[in-house]
Structure 1
Amino acid sequence: MQKYVTRAHTACTDAYLTPCLKRYIDTFTNAFEKDKLNELNVLFMQSDGGLTPVEKFSGSRAILSGPAGSLVVFFSYLNINCLFKKKPKPIGGVIGYSVTSYIDSQPVIGFDMGGTSTDVSRFDGSLEHVLESTIASVTIQAPQLDINTVAAGGGSTLSFRSGLFRVGPESAGAQPGPACYKKGGPLTVTDANLILGRLIAEHFPALFGPNGNEPLDSEASLTKFKELATTINSFLKENQKKTLSIEEIALGFIHVANESMSRPIRALTEGKGFDIRDHVLACFGGAGGQHACAIARALGMKTVYITRFAGVLSALGLALADVVHEMQEPSGRIINVDNWSNILDRLKYLSTYGTDELVQQGYDRKSIIVEKYLNLRYEGTDCALMCTSNEDKAESFTDVFLKKYKEQFGFIIPDRPIIVDDIRIRALAKSAMNINRKIDNRSKDKPFKELKKVKCYFEQGFVETPVYLIEELYANDHISGPAIIIDPSCTIVVESNCEATVTDCGDIRIAIKHVKEDTDSTELDLIRLSIFQNRFMSIAEQCGRVLQLTAISTNIKERLDFSCAVFGPDGGLVANAPHIPVHLGAMQEAVQYQMRTIGKDLRDGDVILSNHPSAGGSHLPDLTVITPVFHECDKEKPVFFVASRGHHADIGGLTPGSMPPNSTSLLQEGAQFLSFKIVEQGQFKEK
């Protein structure tokens, strides 16, 4: 906990939220009869996925408690059901939180799609925690499950602006809700699914309308879509393009929403060095099942898994989670042989203290598991990675750190000292709840048939689609797409070329068959343009994230005085992350200057450094690094460029900071670079 500014943010957030929580807790407890509550063990879910007694519950540790509940229950569920062909082998026996070893198993992406947002997480044998995250522009330093959130869900609004299909970030919320709720709400993703026949109104309770007693209203959705279609088709006619039907427009918005929800998945996998195709997509949340197949196909994933508790996992997670007592303390020591005995002593002390705390709460000492963590970073950087090891050896923790760093950033820094930012332990008391339940196979006297057929719109148009009730399905039933499976808490859409199988536990496993898309057309396609806008923006944002996390300069890692962008083969700006606006206005000229000057000499592996105003620079401390990217089949001409510009503290000017107010020539402001290949064909030019 070295960063006192971040700690101050956390303290202020806690001071603001905790009294609100206490008032809620008081209202909750006062509703019980006198002394009745003393007979119960009242626990609350925290952002780290663990339960804590009511008196220890605080605001800074409650912010992501809802998604944490879903994440815990799903990954707890993995340990005791049949997602994998071979039964997982737990280490420590703690459901949901233990470091678990799988044999021939696949890592899992948790995909929790709700009304206003989608929460994404990754599991590969253990739950990953982060010690610091930014939520609603506030940086919180408290243990949390590593959950990425995007503002796209069933209630995300649909709009058409600047020739692009837009999904969110605005949401209709619960009030007034989507247009189909009959409360005057805007057009949303839910309305698009309803228009396409992927939601069946008669299977929803009559809870809508002004008085909360009416069914979903597809006519309200259709009216709004007609209005939007008029705007979109007017734009297409002005540009002499083919107009779109209402269903094509609705499906286009679904594609854009799917791409938006794919961005955090890419950040958790490709952004950290993992191959996304090796993962299972595990869907939960009320809306996840409608988009699961399409998202898995877009990401190249082969399997979708939907538990029978998909719509209520946050609630169920409260029952399945472990009781956790977590402790941490700052260290600041270099991890080496000389300091290891002190670090190990602190780990042992915290472990004993955490165990004693759970024993005082009534848990058996023998059933308590203690996980030990070190928050490690390279000296001079701010990117700390939480590392755990089963061995109490310095080299074991160091090896874990180096492996994580290499996976996430693609390189390591040899001979640079590694700092222990924090020493942390998690003492866990295992949950006793077990939800393992097998279902029967279908007997011969119970024929397999659909409930009915409905018209559902897919890429090929309207298709007669069978509908099944999940409670009427048996183990090992197979359903070929397209099909719709109705669950009491969610609707599952099995798309064409997909095969759904009911597991022995009553869950749905969907095998995704990938079909090659027609990508040869160069005609303007508003939907495809909207999708690729999201993809290119995601690349620029990930560039910025890596630059910030790996930077040593305070200007980059804390002041965030940098910008990243993607440029086309002509040097024109394609996508820029929302960084420093003044940088982005000139970076296109910086790229195009290099193309004019040394374009014929650019080779794969070259990186150009420039800061000269005549080469598209601003002031000299802003250094621009430009990298041409080549296709493997053509090493002669770049297919696109990526560039980043960052402010350096000093570049050799007359005064510290290299921005002298009395300078009369550019030379007095510092070093100048027009076109310097700082890396040439992969070789860094450093002496």
Structure 2
Amino acid sequence: MRLGVDVGGTFTDLVALGAGEIVTAKVPSTPRDQSVGVMNAIESSGVEAAAVAALAHGMTVATNALLERRGARTALITTEGFRDVLEIARQNRPSLYDLTRDRPPPLVPRELRFTVRERMGPAGELVPLDEEDLDRVISELGEAGVEAVAVCLLFAFTHPEHERRVGEALRGALPEVHVSLSSEVLPEFREYERFSTTAADAYLAPRLAAYLKNLGGKVKEAGMPAPLIMQSSGGVSRIEDAAASSAAFVLSGPAGGVVGAAYAARASGYADVLTFDMGGTSTDVAAVLGGEAQTTTESVVAGVPIKLPMVDIHTVSAGGGSIAWADAGGALRVGPHSAGAEPGPAAYGRGGGEPTVTDANLFLGYLADGAELGGEVVLRRELAEEALGGLGEKLGLEAGEVARGVVRVANAEMVRALRVISVERGLDPREFALLAFGGAGGMHACSLAEELGIKTVLIPRAGGVLSALGLAISDLRRDYVSPLLADLESVKTGELEERFRALEEAAAGDLESPEFTRRADLRYRGQSFELTVEADELKRLEERFHAAHERRYGYRMEDETVELVNLRLIATVPVDKPELKEPSPEGKAEPARREADFGGEWLEVPVLRREEMGKGSEVSGPAIVEFRESTCVVRPGWGGAIDGAGTLVLEREDG
């Protein structure tokens, strides 16, 4: 069996695939040591260790380290005169009109930024590396007691000789210190983004390596193969590669969800979908075009630019555990703070007293009083009502009004997120289906679709653990880049082919019989940023770039010179993916009924158990469908049926 285990802020999910069956499990996360939750999920699934052929894992260790600034004590070595590149950055402001807002401080403080005398230029060496100066810096690093060093020298992306020599000297003199070289982490031009990405890699490496060593030991002791780790780009990598290139794993968990969503959508015949993953701590949204998750190299995570390929995900602090509160002006707010897994929402009865989105959904009847979550948590409506009532006293509202307000505020935040990855990317959301997953996604999906004019909502059978499913079916993947700054019209087919062949040879040495996808970064001359397009043929590059530019920005400039900036290669080793099949129902089950709030009116609605439904089973709103790990609220005016892949396909009946 292939196992996928995804660690979220509130729950840890597992999916096991094999022999035509899907096994799922959900247990509370263990924030102090995420590996404990991983092993608990495996134990809860009942899967025998001897039956496990592969174990893929998505985690939030790197993300949390960046968010909480709990990485390693990191130093930076750079070219003399460029000590403050990390601090100067790009001079853009985090909020244009808010003079009180500032960007987060750099990961490396100024006292830990060192310079060496050397200089490379576009054509090669200008000033030789001063070995005495290097020895001085290494001595100072030893005294500073650092855990990691980022080495970022000018023009190292094309002339890495000096940088490699610095790395060699550091590793010889300080063997316990992790060393990240920019020429290995991100061999691309733009010194600030290269410095920032390399600093993040060094900052995260010791923490991530310690976690992976701990997890690998537990997995080995249990008699299972070494885990594969999900990358931000949407493919898995060997555990030793993850420990060596930490910056590529900051979106490990969310990327698995988008891969799983694309797979489930294709199985139901939908190639273009907006994915909506609402978990306990946050909501992640992304676009899938032509059956493929969209990637970007322009991500900023916790205020840190990381210019590595990542699934183009937008995250907002609106999850089931997001805390509702009243601001100084008496307005109702939701998030960014979360109750997390410990203590969790008030309804969990674990000591949490502040109302959350989950408490609001429970009070409104969307979740059942006494329902079990993850086998360990029992929801208690009276606790949710008490917490909502406490906030209502501050706002002058009844508990029901607070609950409806909490859901509306959370929905507004999530609609904004979906517009970011659709409208702001040149995509019309009305031309997409909305695929909702995560423990809370199905409860909000119809409302969000109505706001965006979307006519179709998809709720996969394994929607509550879809990120784990995505991990279990993810291909092995590695990304390669080669800088080539030149006018496109001056580039020869032979030169392009030679460079791609060099990348493919490197990939063949890292992976066994990989498949290749060629891409290129292009821009109009004078632009600051690029767009990435398929690069299977040189003669088609320019037209593809014009079309991509028009889709993203609404116009094209065919009389302007197009520049080629980088060549990219994606190397993958595909894994077998099971076909999703849904059997017909064994009989017609009678739904339960309970009261739930729709538009301020309490209605007695049918409650269907997904386990008793099958291919062709229909539902008409208002209704509630209870999946094993999640719940779907079918609003009035919506209806649909279970398709052959096990997905509940809902259509807007009133237009």
Q: Structure 2-normalised TM-score?
A: 0.67
Which letter maps to 1:379? R
Task: Compute the displacement of 1:230 (Å).
Answer: 2.7
Q: How does 1:454-603 map to 2 (within 5 A)?
A: 454-514=594-654
- Cα distance change of structure 1 residues 33 and 138 upon mapping to structure 2, 3 Å threshold: closer
Aligned to 1:120, the other structure's residue is in SS state: strand
Task: Compute the displacement of 1:298 (Å).
Answer: 1.0
Which letter maps to 2:200? T
| Structure 2 counterpart of 1:430 | 574
| Structure 2 counterpart of 1:160 | 326
Task: Compute the displacement of 1:178 (Å).
Answer: 1.3
Q: Matches of 1:507 and 1:481 in 2, distance apart?
A: 17
| Structure 2 counterpart of 1:201 | 369
Please say if 1:62 is aligned against 2:243. Answer: no
Task: Compute the displacement of 1:206 (Å).
Answer: 8.6
Indicate the percent of aligned positions where both proteins have the same amino acid: 32
Which letter maps to 1:418? V
Which letter maps to 1:490? S
Task: Compute the displacement of 1:217 (Å).
Answer: 2.2
Which letter maps to 2:310? Q
1:224 pairs with 358, 374, 387, which one? Answer: 387
Q: How does 1:30-45 map to 2 (within 5 A)?
A: 30-31=217-218, 40=225, 42-45=227-230
Q: Matches of 2:470 and 2:438 in 1, distance apart?
A: 13
| Structure 2 counterpart of 1:107 | 272
- Cα distance change of structure 1 residues 194 and 421 upon mapping to structure 2, 3 Å threshold: same
1:380 pairs with 517, 526, 550, which one? Answer: 526
Please say if 1:124 is aligned against 2:269. Answer: no
Q: Structure 1-normalised TM-score?
A: 0.64
Q: How does 1:604-623 map to 2 (within 5 A)?
A: none
Task: Compute the displacement of 1:279 (Å).
Answer: 0.6
Please say if 1:190 is aligned against 2:330. Answer: no
| Structure 1 counterpart of 2:195 | 8
Q: Deviations over 1:607-650 (max 9, x none)?
A: xxxxxxxxxxxxxxxxxxxxxxxxxxxxxxxxxxxxxxxxxxxx
- More displaced 10-residue stretch of structure 1: 350-359 or 13-22: 350-359
Q: Deviations over 1:46-105 (max 9, x none)?
A: 1101111122112101110101111112212333x2x22xxxxxxxxxxxxxxxxxxxx5
Please say if 1:21 is aligned against 2:212. Answer: no
Q: Deviations over 1:529-569 (max 9, x none)?
A: xxxxxxxxxxxxxxxxxxxxxxxxxxxxxxxxxxxxxxxxx
Q: Matches of 1:485 and 1:157 in 2, distance apart?
A: 25
| Structure 2 counterpart of 1:607 | none
Q: What is the Cα-based RMSD across aligned positions, in Å?
A: 2.1
| Structure 2 counterpart of 1:447 | 588
Q: Matches of 1:36 and 1:502 in 2, distance apart?
A: 38
Which letter maps to 2:206? P
Q: Matches of 1:214 and 1:152 in 2, distance apart?
A: 21
Q: Matches of 1:458 and 1:34 in 2, distance apart?
A: 51
Q: Larger relative contact order (C-alpha < 8 A, sep ≥ 6)?
A: 2
Q: How does 1:232-243 map to 2 (within 5 A)?
A: 232-233=395-396
Task: Compute the displacement of 1:459 (Å).
Answer: 0.6
| Structure 1 counterpart of 2:19 | none
Which letter maps to 2:412? E
- Cα distance change of structure 1 residues 283 and 342 upon mapping to structure 2, 3 Å threshold: same
| Structure 1 counterpart of 2:550 | 406
Structure with bigger gyration radius: 1
Unaligned runs of 5+ in 1: 85-104, 208-212, 234-243, 360-364, 516-687
Q: Deviations over 1:311-369 (max 9, x none)?
A: 1122222220011122112111221144453233212221233234322xxxxx3xx32
| Structure 2 counterpart of 1:644 | none
Which letter maps to 1:28? L
Q: Matches of 1:41 and 1:400 in 2, distance apart?
A: 41
Which letter maps to 1:172? A
| Structure 2 counterpart of 1:249 | 402
Contact 2:425/2:552 (8 A) holds in 1? yes
Contact 2:278/2:438 (8 A) holds in 1? yes
| Structure 1 counterpart of 2:152 | none
Task: Compute the displacement of 1:397 (Å).
Answer: 1.6
Contact 1:177/1:186 (8 A) holds in 2? no
Q: Matches of 1:353 and 1:106 in 2, distance apart?
A: 32
- More displaced 10-residue stretch of structure 1: 287-296 or 127-136: 127-136
Q: Matches of 2:516 and 2:594 in 1, distance apart?
A: 53
Task: Compute the displacement of 1:33 (Å).
Answer: 5.7
Q: Matches of 2:457 and 2:221 in 1, distance apart?
A: 48
Unaligned runs of 5+ in 2: 1-187
| Structure 1 counterpart of 2:306 | 140
Aligned residues: 463
Which letter maps to 1:355? A
Q: Matches of 1:148 and 1:294 in 2, distance apart?
A: 19
- Cα distance change of structure 1 residues 403 and 34 upon mapping to structure 2, 3 Å threshold: same
Please say if 1:172 is aligned against 2:339. Answer: yes
Q: Deviations over 1:495-523 (max 9, x none)?
A: 111103111222211112458xxxxxxxx
| Structure 2 counterpart of 1:542 | none
Contact 1:286/1:491 (8 A) holds in 2? yes
Aligned to 1:252, the other structure's residue is in SS state: helix
Q: Deviations over 1:457-516 (max 9, x none)?
A: 11150000111111101211111111111111101111111103111222211112458x
Contact 1:494/1:500 (8 A) holds in 2? no
Aligned to 1:201, the other structure's residue is in SS state: coil
Q: Matches of 1:25 and 1:150 in 2, distance apart?
A: 27
Aligned to 1:294, the other structure's residue is in SS state: helix
Q: How does 1:626-637 map to 2 (within 5 A)?
A: none
Aligned to 1:202, the other structure's residue is in SS state: coil
Which letter maps to 1:324? R
Please say if 1:286 is aligned against 2:439. Answer: yes
| Structure 1 counterpart of 2:117 | none
Contact 1:247/1:457 (8 A) holds in 2? no
Which letter maps to 2:511? L
Which letter maps to 2:429? I
Task: Compute the displacement of 1:32 (Å).
Answer: 5.4
Task: Compute the displacement of 1:158 (Å).
Answer: 1.2
Task: Compute the displacement of 1:435 (Å).
Answer: 4.2
